């Protein structure tokens, strides 16, 4: 699988007893040693949520799956989303009935919603993914409650992941 120029993905194992955020920040620090990273939730102002880059012209995204952290980085200001999930996951049909519990569908949807910036504030069922092997595109349909429209077409790539996991990354 070939990613777009400038897009880098790195995985780090999260050992028992080690905070997963420590692993993701260490990975980000290796990719962008000149930068600082901060997370601030727009809803509660807590120290969690989307990771923002300070001190470098770059965008990052972070995801966690059991035992692993994955980070994606591109050296430009854009929108970027990465997601990882266990290959064998149950219950996705409750939040995305058409996904029929396929973990890669969920990782693609999450990557798009993270890149979009609204995350799960958007109904995952509104994300329409069209696949062509390991590359794909997606759009977000307008919602009945928010009526928000978007003409963004998201490009995506399925990632090589550690055994038992699936992962995807998305850019506009």
146-169 pLDDT, tens digit each: 556 667 999 999 999 999 999 999
pLDDT of residue 100: 46
- Percentage of the chain exceeding pLDDT 70: 89
Phi and psi at residue 139, to the nearest 5° = -135, 160
Least trusted range by pLDDT, from 13-27, 101-115, 137-151, 155-169? 137-151
Q: Which residue has the tokens 């979009």?
A: 116
108 or 143, which is more confident: 108
The three-class DSSP label of residue 27 is: helix
* Banded pLDDT at 170 (limits 50, 70, 90): very high
State mean pLDDT over 46-61.
93
pLDDT of residue 145: 63
48 or 108, which is more confident: 108
pLDDT of residue 133: 76
For 135: left if phi > 0, alpha if psi spans -120 to 50, otherwise beta; the answer is beta
* Banded pLDDT at 96 (limits 50, 70, 90): low
**What is the rounded CA–CA span in Å between residue 85 and residue 64?**
8
Query: Strand 127-132's sheet: what is its strand order?
Result: 81-86, 165-171, 154-159, 135-140, 127-132
């Amino acid at each position: 699988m070939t990613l777009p120029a400038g897009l880098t993905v790195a995985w780090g194992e999260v050992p028992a007893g080690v905070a997963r955020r420590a692993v993701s920040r260490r990975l980000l620090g290796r990719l962008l040693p000149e930068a600082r990273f901060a997370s601030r939730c727009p809803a509660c102002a807590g120290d969690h949520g989307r990771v923002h880059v300070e001190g470098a012209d770059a965008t990052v995204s972070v995801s966690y799956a059991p035992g692993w952290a994955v980070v994606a980085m591109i050296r430009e200001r854009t929108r970027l989303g990465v997601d990882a999930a266990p290959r064998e996951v149950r219950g996705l049909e409750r939040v995305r009935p058409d996904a029929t519990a396929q973990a890669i569908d969920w990782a693609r949807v999450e990557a798009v919603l993270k890149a979009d910036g609204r995350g799960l504030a958007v109904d995952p069922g509104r994300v329409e993914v069209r696949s062509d092997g390991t590359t794909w595109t997606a759009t977000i349909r307008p919602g009945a409650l928010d009526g928000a429209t978007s003409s963004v077409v998201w490009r995506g790539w399925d990632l090589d992941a550690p055994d038992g996991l699936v992962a995807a990354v998305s850019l506009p």
